[in-house]
C-alpha cells in the first residue's frame, strides 16, 4: 500500500476495491462468479451482438470481482494489485508488455492484468496426491481451463511410464536426469531450449549461457510466433529490431495509427493512452478488419469520476476495416496519396529528412507511382476515399506514431508490410523526434527482454564474441532452430531433449497434432511451469514437470531477497520484486533451476552457477559487460523507473549497410482469397491469456459460453446457407496442398469484410499447417489461413 499512498486521491472506482467491502455486493459477485466464469461456464452458447458499451468501466470491474472470488484471493489480490507496476517497489505485471505509467499518477493496472496476477496467486494447489489420483491418460481428457484451474504446482514430478502417473522426484534427481540426458546426446544440437516471454532478464541470460556453453543455439521462443516479422523488418530498415518510441511520445503525438491489435483485451492499459490522446485532440485511426472494443469509447478505469458517472471518452477518430492481409496496400495507398499531394503541397513530404537520413527514396517513389489505385483498393479492401481519409490525417499531423501487433506480423508478407509502415513514417520524417515513430506492441511481459538478453537462434557475431570473452566459453556459431524447425527436428528424431522454460508449447505452436507427435517423439521433455497444462500431458518417453516461483512471489537466495529485471515494449528496463510467500516451499526460482540443470549437464563448467544464483546482482554485473546498453546495470535498474535502453535509430543513427534508414520497394502481394475461399485469422478472446482460458466468454464481442465458433461476414453466411449459430465445418488448405479440418464450429455473423473470418487460438491451431510459415519471417501464418466453410451435414 505504501507504494501508492501518495497517489491515493486519484485512485478510485473499482481500483479502490470499495466494491468488495459491501457484503451484499459480495454475495452478488459470488453468485455471478458461479454462473459467469469458469467451471460453471458450461451454459448455453450465446451471441448477443456486438458490444456497444465503452471498454473497461464497470463490466471490467465485475469481471475482476469474479476472478478474485474464484481464486479466493479477495484479501491478497487487492494488496498485490496495489504493488503492481510500481516504480521498483513492486512486481511487474506478468501480463502484457505495455510500459508502466511514467508519471506515477495512476494505479497502473487493468482488468486482464488483475486476472493474470490472481490466476498466479490462487490458493489452490496441485500436489503429489493429485497426481496419484489422476493418470496422464485421464488428465488428457480435461480442458485447458480444468487443468490450470487446479492451481499451482508444488513439487518436481517425473513421469512414470509403468503406471502412467506423474510421481514425485527430488530436485537433485531431476537435475541429474536432465544432465545425463544432455551429456549422452551425440550432438548438443539434439537439445532445444524454448522460452516463453515472461522469463526475467537474469534467468534469460543464464539460460542462453547454458545452451551456448553446451554448444547449441537452439533457442526457439514465443517471439518466433509473435514479432519475428517486426524484428526483421525494423532491423533491415533502421538497423534496430525494436520500436523507437516510448510512452512520452504517445503522450506528445498528434496522430496514432493503431493496426492489428485488440487493445481492450490484450493491452488494456493502452486504453488510458488512447483516451488521453483523444482528450488533448490527437487523431486516432484504428485499422482492423474487426471494429474492436478499443476502437470506440472507454471509461478510463483509473479515473474515479469517470467510473462514478459512467463518463466515457472516445478512443477513435477514424476506423478503417481492411481485408485480412490488406494493410500493406493501405499503407501503399497512404504513401501514394502523400506523394501526390506533394506536387502542390510543399510540406507533404519532409524532403530534408529524406535527403539526409534515408536511402532508396527514388525507387520507392517509382514503385508507389507504378501501383495503380485499383490495385490498392482491391488489395486493401478499402475505397480510395477511405484511404485518402487516413492519408489526410497523416498529412495534417506534425507527429505520427504507427503502432501494430499480431494483425500485422502473423502474415506471409508481415516483413514487407512493416517495412511499408516504416516507408510511410520516413516520408514525413516521423522518426527520431518527440511524438513520432514505429511502435510495435509486444506480447508477453518480457518477450522483448528475452531477445535483448540473448534468446536468439540467429545470434549476431558481435554478441557471441563478447559473451565468449566475458564468460570464458566457446559459443557455437551456426544458426540454431526456431519454433517451427524445432518441431520438424523432433519429428525426424534430430531433437531428442526439449526444455520448455515456461509457456505451453504443445498448444501454442501451429499444427497441433503434428507438434504433439513431435513432443511425443522426444527422449525427454522438461517443463518449468507454474501451472499444469497440456504440454505436461503430451510428453516425451521421459518427462519432468519442474515448478517455479511466479513473479508475484518472494525469491530468497543465499544473499537475501532477489529481484529480477524486465524490459517492456518501449525498451524500459526496470526491476520486479515479488511480495508473496511462495505457493510451496519446494518451488525454485527460474535462475536456480537453470543453474541446477547446467551443473548437472556441464560437469566441467567454469561458470560459477551457484555464485550467480546466490545474488542476482552478480548476474547483472556480467550482463553489463556483455550486453550493449547495460552499462552500470545494477545502479541504473534501481532508479525509480529503471532506465531506457538506447535506441540508435531514435538518435538517427542507423546500423544499416548504407548507414541510413532504408525505404523498401516491394511489390504489393496478392492477398485476395480465391473464389469460394475465406481468409481466416486466429486470435484471442477477452477471457484468455494465450493458452490459458479463464472462461468461455468474450464480453467485448458479445459471446457467452462458446469458444468453438467462427466470426463470419453475414453475406458470406447467406451465400452458403448458414444461419446464426449454425454448426459449420472449416477446412484449411496448406501451401503444400494438404488439408486440415474442424467440425461443428458455430457461425457467428459479425461486422467483418467479405471473404474474411476469425476464430480463437489455440483451438484453431489445428488448421495451421507446420509448413505454413512466412518465407520472410519464418513466422507461422496464424492470421491468414486459407479455408472453406460449409454448413455441417
Ligand atoms: N489479456 C490478454 N492479453 C494478452 C494476451 C492474451 O492472450 N490475453 N496475449 C499477449 C501476447 S503473447 C501477444 S503477442 C499480444 C497479442 O495481441 P493482439 O495482436 O491484439 O492479439 P490477437 O488476439 O491475436 O488479435 C489480433 C488483432 O488483429 C486483428 N487482425 C487480424 N488480421 C488482421 C489483418 O490482416 N490486419 C489488421 N490490421 N488487423 C488484423 C484482429 O481483428 C485482432 O484485433 O497480446 C498480449 N496480451
Ligand atoms: N493460432 C495461433 N497460435 C498462436 C498465436 C496466435 O495468435 N494464433 N499466438 C502466438 C503467440 S504471439 C505466442 S506469445 C504463443 C504463446 O505461447 P506460450 O508462451 O508458450 O504459451 P502461454 O499460454 O503464454 O503459456 C502458459 C503457461 O505458462 C506457464 N507459466 C505462467 N507463468 C509462468 C512463470 O512465471 N514462469 C514459468 N516458467 N512458467 C509460467 C504456465 O504453466 C502456463 O500454463 O502462442 C502463439 N500461438
Ligand atoms: Mo505473443
Residue 326 CA to ligand 3 center (angstroms) comes to: 21
Instruction: Give residue 118's pLDDT band: very low, low, confident or very high (50, 70, 90).
Output: confident
Average pLDDT value for residue range 780-789? 98
Q: What is the mean pLDDT of the chain?
A: 90
Residue 147 CA to ligand 2 center (angstroms) comes to: 15
Average pLDDT value for residue range 521-527? 98
Same domain, 206 and 159: yes
Ligand 2 atom 17: the closest Cα is on which residue? Answer: 508
Better-scored residue on pLDDT, 94 or 755: 755
Average pLDDT value for residue range 595-621? 98
Residue 324 CA to ligand 1 center (angstroms) comes to: 13
CA distance 287 to 390: 10
Same domain, 613 and 689: no
Residue 560 CA to ligand 1 center (angstroms) comes to: 39
Average pLDDT value for residue range 693-713? 95
pLDDT value at residue 84: 62
| pLDDT tens track for 455-511 | 999 999 999 999 999 999 999 999 999 999 999 999 999 999 999 999 999 999 999
Pocket test for ligand 2, best of 525, 529, 580 (most atoms within 8 A of CB): 529
Has residue 660 been placed in a domain?
no
Has residue 334 been placed in a domain?
yes
pLDDT value at residue 285: 97
| pLDDT tens track for 65-78 | 666 666 655 556 56
Same domain, 432 and 501: no
Same domain, 411 and 453: no
Residue 689 CA to ligand 3 center (angstroms) comes to: 10
pLDDT value at residue 51: 72
Instruction: Give residue 83's pLDDT band: very low, low, confident or very high (50, 70, 90).
Output: low
CA distance 550 to 71: 16
Ligand 2 atom at minimal distance to the Cα of residue 447: 14
- List ligand 1's pocket residues with C-beta within 6 A: 95-96, 112, 226, 259-262, 265-267, 287-290, 292, 322, 324-325, 327, 405-408, 443-444, 681, 683-684, 688-690, 783
| pLDDT tens track for 350-374 | 999 999 999 999 999 999 999 999 9
Same domain, 494 and 435: no
Instruction: Give residue 22's pLDDT band: very low, low, confident or very high (50, 70, 90).
Output: very low
Residue 748 CA to ligand 3 center (angstroms) comes to: 26
Long-range Cβ contacts of 64-67 (<8 Å, 24+ apart): 64/14, 64/111, 64/114, 64/115, 65/14, 65/19, 65/20, 65/25, 65/29, 65/32, 65/33, 66/29, 66/32, 66/33, 66/36, 66/37, 67/37, 67/114, 67/115, 67/118, 67/119, 67/694
| pLDDT tens track for 196-227 | 999 999 999 999 999 999 999 999 999 999 99
Ligand 2 atom at minimal distance to the Cα of residue 120: 32
Instruction: Give residue 88's pLDDT band: very low, low, confident or very high (50, 70, 90).
Output: low
Give the domain-ending residue among 423, 440, 457. Answer: 440
Has residue 10 been placed in a domain?
no
Ligand 1 atom at minimal distance to the Cα of residue 197: 12
- Write the CA distances from 37 to 75, 152, 657, 665, integer angstroms: 20, 19, 54, 49
User: Which 3 state secondary structure label does DSSP give 392?
Assistant: helix
Q: Which ligand is nearest to the CA of 691?
A: 2
Ligand 2 atom 45: the closest Cα is on which residue? Answer: 508
pLDDT value at residue 301: 57
Counted domains in the chain: 4
Same domain, 116 and 154: no
Residue 514 CA to ligand 3 center (angstroms) comes to: 21
Instruction: Write out the residue range of the structural domain in which residue 757 sits.
Output: 678-791
Has residue 403 been placed in a domain?
yes
Better-scored residue on pLDDT, 64 or 436: 436
pLDDT value at residue 575: 94
Average pLDDT value for residue range 632-655? 95
Average pLDDT value for residue range 620-632? 97
pLDDT value at residue 49: 81
Same domain, 369 and 238: yes
pLDDT value at residue 42: 64
Instruction: Give residue 27's pLDDT band: very low, low, confident or very high (50, 70, 90).
Output: very low
Same domain, 476 and 548: yes
CA distance 197 to 442: 10
Has residue 473 been placed in a domain?
yes
Instruction: Give residue 257's pLDDT band: very low, low, confident or very high (50, 70, 90).
Output: very high
Which of 104-113, 269-278, 283-292, 515-524 has the least mean pLDDT?
104-113
Ligand 1 atom at minimal distance to the Cα of residue 682: 24
Q: Supply φ then ψ for residue 747, to 5 degrees.
A: -85, 130
Ligand 2 atom at minimal distance to the Cα of residue 533: 44
Ligand 2 atom at minimal distance to the Cα of residue 550: 35
Ligand 2 atom 25: the closest Cα is on which residue? Answer: 503
- List ligand 2's pocket residues with C-beta within 6 A: 148, 196, 198, 222, 225-226, 406, 410, 443-444, 501-505, 508, 528-531, 533, 548, 550-551, 590, 682, 690-692, 761-762, 764-765, 768, 782
Instruction: Give residue 685's pLDDT band: very low, low, confident or very high (50, 70, 90).
Output: very high
Q: Which ligand is nearest to the CA of 551?
A: 2
Burial of 527 (0-12, 13-18, 19+ CB in 10 A): buried
Average pLDDT value for residue range 260-269? 93
Ligand 1 atom 14: the closest Cα is on which residue? Answer: 443
* CATH number (domain holding residue 236): 3.40.228.10
Ligand 1 atom 33: the closest Cα is on which residue? Answer: 407
Has residue 654 been placed in a domain?
no
pLDDT value at residue 464: 98
Ligand 2 atom at minimal distance to the Cα of residue 765: 1
Which of 39-43, 436-440, 689-693, 748-752 has the least mean pLDDT?
39-43
Pocket test for ligand 1, best of 114, 262, 328 (most atoms within 8 A of CB): 262
Same domain, 430 and 452: no
Ligand 2 atom at minimal distance to the Cα of residue 509: 47
pLDDT value at residue 16: 26
Burial of 744 (0-12, 13-18, 19+ CB in 10 A): exposed
Q: Please check the confidence at residue 5 and state whether its pLDDT lies above 50.
A: no
Residue 690 CA to ligand 2 center (angstroms) comes to: 5
CA distance 711 to 697: 14
**High-pLDDT (> 90) share of the chain, %:** 81
Average pLDDT value for residue range 308-323? 83
Q: Please check the confidence at residue 46 and state whether its pLDDT lies above 70.
A: yes
Has residue 671 been placed in a domain?
no
- Sorted by sequence, the CB contacts under 8 Å of residue 696 that are 6+ apart come out as 41, 42, 145, 687, 704, 705, 706, 707
The C-alpha torsion from 452 through 454 and 455 to 457, rounded to 10°, is: 120
Same domain, 109 and 163: no
Ligand 1 atom 18: the closest Cα is on which residue? Answer: 261
Give the domain-ending residue among 386, 419, 440. Answer: 440
pLDDT value at residue 641: 86
User: pTM to 2 decimals?
Assistant: 0.92
pLDDT value at residue 7: 26
Pocket test for ligand 1, best of 259, 266, 292, 330 (most atoms within 8 A of CB): 266
Same domain, 485 and 612: yes
Ligand 2 atom at minimal distance to the Cα of residue 196: 19
Residue 164 CA to ligand 1 center (angstroms) comes to: 37
- Sorted by sequence, the CB contacts under 8 Å of residue 595 that are 6+ apart come out as 206, 609, 610, 612, 613
Has residue 68 been placed in a domain?
yes
Instruction: Give residue 93's pLDDT band: very low, low, confident or very high (50, 70, 90).
Output: confident
Same domain, 456 and 424: no
Average pLDDT value for residue range 79-97? 67
> How much of the chain is helix, strand and coil, in % rounded to 5?
40, 20, 40
Q: Please check the confidence at residue 592 and state whether its pLDDT lies above 70.
A: yes
Ligand 1 atom at minimal distance to the Cα of residue 267: 47
* CATH number (domain holding residue 154): 3.40.50.740
Residue 451 CA to ligand 3 center (angstroms) comes to: 13
Ligand 1 atom at minimal distance to the Cα of residue 323: 35
Residue 518 CA to ligand 3 center (angstroms) comes to: 22
Ligand 1 atom 32: the closest Cα is on which residue? Answer: 407
Q: Which ligand is nearest to the CA of 266?
A: 1
Ligand 1 atom 42: the closest Cα is on which residue? Answer: 290
Give the domain-ending residue among 440, 457, 476. Answer: 440
| pLDDT tens track for 146-189 | 999 999 999 999 999 999 999 999 999 999 999 999 999 999 99
| pLDDT tens track for 424-433 | 999 999 999 9
Which of 298-312, 398-412, 607-621, 679-693 has the least mean pLDDT?
298-312
Amino acid at each position: 500500500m505504501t507504494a501508492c499512498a501518495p497517489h491515493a486521491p486519484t485512485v478510485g472506482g473499482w481500483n479502490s476495491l470499495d466494491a468488495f467491502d459491501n457484503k451484499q455486493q459480495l454475495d452478488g459477485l459470488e453468485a455471478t462468479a458461479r454462473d459467469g466464469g469458469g467451471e460453471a461456464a458450461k451454459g448455453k452458447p450465446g451471441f448477443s451482438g456486438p458490444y456497444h458499451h465503452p471498454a473497461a468501466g464497470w463490466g471490467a470491474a465485475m469481471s475482476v470481482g469474479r476472478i478474485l472470488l474464484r481464486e479466493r484471493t479477495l484479501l491478497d489480490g487487492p494488496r498485490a494489485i496495489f504493488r503492481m507496476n510500481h516504480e521498483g517497489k513492486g512486481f511487474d505485471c506478468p501480463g502484457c508488455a505495455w510500459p508502466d505509467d511514467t508519471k506515477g499518477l495512476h494505479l497502473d493496472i487493468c482488468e486482464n492484468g488483475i486476472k493474470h496476477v490472481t490466476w498466479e496467486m490462487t490458493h489452490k494447489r496441485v500436489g503429489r496426491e493429485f497426481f496419484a489420483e489422476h493418470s496422464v491418460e485421464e488428465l488428457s481428457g480435461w480442458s485447458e481451463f480444468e487443468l490450470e484451474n487446479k492451481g499451482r504446482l508444488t513439487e518436481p514430478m517425473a513421469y512414470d511410464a509403468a503406471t502412467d502417473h506423474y510421481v514425485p522426484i527430488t530436485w537433485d534427481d531431476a537435475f541429474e536426469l536432465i544432465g545425463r540426458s544432455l551429456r549422452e546426446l551425440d550432438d548438443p544440437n539434439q537439445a532445444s531450449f524454448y522460452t516463453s516471454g515472461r522469463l526475467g532478464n537474469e534467468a534469460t541470460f543464464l539460460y542462453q549461457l547454458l545452451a551456448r556453453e553446451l554448444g547449441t543455439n537452439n533457442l526457439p521462443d514465443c517471439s518466433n510466433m509473435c514479432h519475428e516479422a517486426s524484428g526483421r523488418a525494423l532491423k533491415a530498415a533502421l538497423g534496430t529490431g525494436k520500436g523507437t518510441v516510448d510512452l512520452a511520445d504517445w503522450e506528445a503525438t498528434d496522430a496514432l495509427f493503431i493496426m492489428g491489435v485488440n487493445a481492450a483485451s490484450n493491452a488494456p492499459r493502452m486504453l488510458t493512452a488512447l483516451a488521453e490522446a483523444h482528450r488533448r485532440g490527437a487523431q486516432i485511426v484504428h485499422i482492423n478488419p474487426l471494429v474492436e472494443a478499443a476502437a470506440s469509447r472507454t471509461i478510463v478505469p483509473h479515473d474515479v469520476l469517470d467510473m462514478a458517472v459512467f463518463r466515457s471518452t472516445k478512443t477513435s477518430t477514424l476506423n478503417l476495416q481492411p481485408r485480412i492481409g490488406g494493410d500493406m496496400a493501405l499503407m501503399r495507398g497512404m504513401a501514394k496519396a502523400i506523394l501526390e499531394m506533394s506536387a502542390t503541397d510543399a510540406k507533404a513530404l519532409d524532403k530534408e529528412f529524406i535527403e539526409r537520413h534515408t536511402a532508396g527514396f527514388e525507387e520507392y517513389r517509382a514503385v508507389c507511382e507504378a501501383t495503380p489505385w485499383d490495385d490498392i483498393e482491391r488489395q486493401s479492401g478499402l475505397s480510395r476515399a477511405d484511404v485518402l481519409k487516413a492519408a489526410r490525417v497523416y498529412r495534417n499531423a506534425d507527429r505520427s506514431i504507427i503502432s501494430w501487433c499480431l494483425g500485422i506480423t502473423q502474415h506471409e508478407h508481415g516483413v514487407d508490410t512493416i517495412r511499408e509502415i516504416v516507408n510511410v513514417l520516413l516520408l514525413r520524417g516521423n522518426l527520431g523526434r518527440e511524438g513520432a515513430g514505429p511502435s510495435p506492441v509486444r506480447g508477453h511481459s518480457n518477450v522483448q527482454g528475452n531477445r535483448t538478453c540473448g534468446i536468439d537462434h540467429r545470434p549476431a557475431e558481435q554478441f557471441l564474441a563478447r559473451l565468449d570473452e566475458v564468460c570464458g566459453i566457446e559459443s557455437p556459431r551456426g544458426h540454431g532452430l526456431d519454433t517451427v524447425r524445432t518441431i520438424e527436428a523432433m519429428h525426424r528424431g534430430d531433437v531428442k531433449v526439449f526444455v520448455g522454460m515456461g509457456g505451453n508449447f504443445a498448444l501454442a505452436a501451429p499444427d497441433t497434432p503434428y507438434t504433439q507427435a513431435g513432443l511425443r517423439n522426444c527422449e525427454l521433455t522438461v517443463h518449468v511451469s507454474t501451472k499444469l497444462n497440456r504440454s505436461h500431458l503430451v510428453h516425451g518417453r521421459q518427462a519432468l514437470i519442474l515448478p517455479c516461483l511466479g513473479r508475484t512471489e518472494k525469491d530468497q537466495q543465499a544473499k537475501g531477497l532477489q529481484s529480477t529485471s524486465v524490459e517492456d515494449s518501449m525498451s524500459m528496463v526496470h526491476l520486479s520484486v515479488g511480495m508473496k510467500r511462495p505457493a510451496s516451499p519446494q518451488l525454485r526460482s527460474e535462475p536456480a533451476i537453470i543453474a541446477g540443470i547446467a551443473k548437472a549437464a556441464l560437469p566441467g563448467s567454469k561458470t560459477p552457477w551457484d555464485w550467480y544464483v546466490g545474488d542476482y546482482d552478480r548476474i547483472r554485473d556480467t550482463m553489463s559487460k556483455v550486453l550493449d546498453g547495460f552499462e552500470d546495470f545494477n545502479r541504473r535498474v534501481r532508479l525509480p523507473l529503471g532506465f531506457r535502453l538506447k535506441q540508435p535509430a531514435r538518435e538517427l543513427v542507423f546500423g544499416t549497410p548504407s548507414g541510413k534508414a532504408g525505404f523498401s520497394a516491394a511489390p504489393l502481394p496478392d492477398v485476395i482469397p480465391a473464389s469460394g475461399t475465406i481468409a481466416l485469422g486466429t486470435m484471442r478472446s477477452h477471457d484468455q491469456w494465450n493458452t490459458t482460458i479463464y472462461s468461455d466468454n468474450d464480453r467485448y464481442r458479445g459471446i457467452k459460453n462458446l469458444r468453438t465458433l467462427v466470426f463470419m461476414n453475414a453475406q458470406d453466411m447467406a451465400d452458403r446457407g448458414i444461419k446464426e449459430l449454425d454448426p459449420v465445418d472449416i477446412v484449411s488448405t496448406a501451401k503444400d496442398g494438404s488439408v486440415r479440418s474442424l467440425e461443428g464450429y458455430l457461425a457467428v455473423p459479425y461486422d467483418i469484410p467479405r471473404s474474411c473470418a476469425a476464430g480463437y487460438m489455440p483451438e484453431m491451431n489445428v488448421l495451421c499447417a507446420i509448413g505454413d510459415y512466412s518465407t520472410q519471417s519464418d513466422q507461422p501464418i496464424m492470421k491468414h489461413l486459407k479455408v472453406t466453410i460449409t454448413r455441417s451435414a
